[in-house]
A and B are shown apart, each in its own frame.
Chain A
Amino acid sequence: DVKVTQSSRYLVKRTGEKVFLECVQDMDHENMFWYRQDPGLGLRLIYFSYDVKMKEKGDIPEGYSVSREKKERFSLILESASTNQTSMYLCASSSGREMYEQYFGPGTRLTVT
């Protein structure tokens, strides 16, 4: 079974803090993704990576950056957290061979106060 893990289930941070969200997958998948999910807006792609040290902007990259130094690990960084970044953050991975099937981690519910 594909296993995608995320570093925290719940996180509370203050406005202006730098926040790191970590995602690890154990299936040797090439592609990794970061989404945020908000009521009424659905899942929105923030960034994705199709190889180590490669990254591509998604639909809503503003205020975020990412890092992929190892194949299994993809980090999302909020440079200066703001209250409008309060959300559920979901990491997913996929193999380039599996016709786009993405598998999600458990999610991190981030609250910025």
Chain B
Amino acid sequence: QKEVEQNSGPLSVPEGAIASLNCTYSDRGSQSFFWYRQYSGKSPELIMSIYSNGDKEDGRFTAQLNKASQYVSLLIRDSQPSDSATYLCAVGTGFQKLVFGTGTRLLVSP
């Protein structure tokens, strides 16, 4: 069974700090990796995708991928209370399918 593991949290950070969210995956053949943000009672929203080793930056978000270590992370700089949500890591596996982690809950306090 292909797995994606995340710490469930909550991860608590003060406003303005950097939040670091981590994810490990089991399928060495995976080539595509995603971060989704999910507010309570809402559906997941795609915020980052990464396909190559290294960093990818988009505004306050940076995704980091290390395929050798089977590790994906999401950094959120200058965290805001509006970033408080559950962040889901997803890994592409098989034909167009994604396997999701159970998510990390982030709490940003003012």
Contacts and interface: CB of A to CB of B under 8 A. Distances in A.
A45 B99 CA distance: 8
- Which of A33, A50, A99 has the most CB atoms of chain B within a 10 A radius of its CB? A99
Interface string B12-32: 000000000000000000011
B98 interface: yes
A82 B34 CA distance: 33
A102 interface: yes
Interface residues of B, number: 22
Interface in A49-108: 50, 56, 58, 90, 94, 96, 99-107
Contact of A100 (B92, B100, B101): B92
Contacts of A100: 32, 34, 92, 96-98
B43 A96 contact: no
A106 B88 CA distance: 16
Interface string B32-46: 101010000011111
A6 B49 CA distance: 24
B43 A105 contact: yes
B51 interface: yes
Contacts, number: 51
A42 B101 contact: yes
A104 B88 contact: no
Contacts of A99: 31-32, 49, 51, 92
Contacts of A58: 97
A45 B2 CA distance: 13
A50 B96 contact: yes
Contact of B43 (A40, A94, A101, A107): A107
Interface of B: 31-32, 34, 36, 42-46, 49, 51, 88, 90, 92, 95-98, 100-103
Interface of A: 31, 33, 40-43, 45, 48, 50, 56, 58, 90, 94, 96, 99-107
Q: What 4 pairs between A and B have smallest CB-CB spacing?
A: A42-B102, A100-B92, A43-B100, A104-B43
